[in-house]
């Protein structure tokens, strides 16, 4: 039987709450903790972790976690993690496929029975995890950035919950970019200014941008002047480099 995917008005309101909480992150947070707490209520999870790593170097860069019951995996857990990461296609899916957009679940690849005998099954047993769903972020150099939701008991994550995460993912990406800009001391731009600057970054001329945004070419020039002033730069190239160099 095919699961019917529906999103209610209540879901949409709760999703907006999740997004709004993402704007309140402190400068020391790797990813907004209040957002993660709200997400765990929208999509019930025992643990929500945002992780930045360098898989080719087998090292962690940073992480933020909210969890119901902290688990002490003991010594050697990093070896288990990296062994399961590279020995099992479930963990290293983005690196193997080049797909950093699709949200995936462990159960897309392994049944409960298959999980027990797989490399990732060892990791799951170590942390008392039963199911996981992963939201990948755009790749940035050698860094892998992902948001992971875990359940220790109960049912697997559903297709409806995957749909909610798919709808939220573009907002998560923008929230992370905004947090990184603020952390780097880059002045905040309006959503319209960022939209225009992304078109500049893609190589569009003022005329092309005006057509795409349905505004006069003079309006585009004025927006660019305001962007230059806010960022303290004098050219299109410098504006793009300043606004996006840390937020690919």
115, pLDDT greater than 60 = yes
Which CATH number does the domain housing residue 195 bear?
Answer: 1.10.10.10
The percentage of residues in the chain with a pLDDT greater than 90, rounded to a whole number, is 60
Residues spanned by the domain of 63: 9-184
- What total of structural domains would you count in the chain? 2
- Residue closest to 141 by CA, chosen among 53, 72, 209: 53
What's 101's domain CATH number?
A: 3.30.450.80
Mean pLDDT of 122-131: 86
Residues 6 or more apart whose CB falls under 8 angstroms from that of 235 comprise: 228
Q: Which pTM value belongs to this model?
A: 0.80
Query: What is the side-by-side strand order in the sheet with 131-136?
Result: 59-67, 47-54, 144-151, 131-136, 104-105
User: Is residue 51 domain-shared with residue 103, that is, in the same domain?
Assistant: yes
Percent of residues, the chain, with pLDDT higher than 70: 97
- How high is the pLDDT of residue 174? 87
Looking at the structure, tell me whether residues 160 and 73 fall in a common domain.
yes
Question: In which element (H, E) is residue 221 found?
Answer: helix 217-231
Burial (CB < 10 A; 0-12, 13-18, 19+), residue 213, is middle
Rounded to whole angstroms, the Cα distance separating 31 from 12 reads 22
């Amino acid at each position: 039987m095919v699961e019917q995917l529906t999103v209610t008005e209540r879901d949409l309101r709760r999703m907006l709450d999740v997004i709004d909480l993402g704007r309140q992150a402190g400068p020391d947070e790797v990813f907004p903790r209040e957002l993660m707490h709200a997400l765990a209520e929208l999509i019930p999870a025992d643990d929500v972790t945002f992780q930045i790593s360098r898989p080719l170097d087998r090292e962690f860069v940073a992480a933020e976690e909210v969890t119901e019951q902290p688990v002490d995996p003991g010594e050697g857990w990093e070896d288990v993690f990296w062994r399961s990461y590279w020995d099992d296609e479930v963990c290293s899916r983005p690196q193997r496929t080049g797909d950093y957009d699709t949200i995936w679940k462990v159960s897309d690849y392994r049944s409960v029975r298959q999980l027990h005998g797989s490399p990732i099954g060892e990791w799951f047993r170590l942390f008392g995890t039963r199911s996981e769903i992963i939201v990948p972020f755009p790749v940035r150099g050698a860094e892998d950035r992902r948001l992971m939701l875990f359940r220790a008991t109960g049912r697997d994550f559903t297709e409806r919950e995957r749909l909610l995460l798919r709808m939220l993912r573009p907002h998560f990406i923008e929230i992370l970019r905004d947090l990184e800009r603020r952390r780097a001391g880059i002045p905040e731009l309006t959503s319209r200014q960022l939209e225009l600057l992304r078109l500049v970054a893609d190589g569009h001329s003022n005329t092309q941008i005006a057509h795409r945004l349905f505004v006069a070419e003079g309006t585009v020039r004025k927006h660019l002047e305001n962007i230059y002033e806010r960022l303290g730069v004098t050219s299109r190239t410098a504006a793009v480099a300043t606004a996006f160099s840390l937020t690919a």
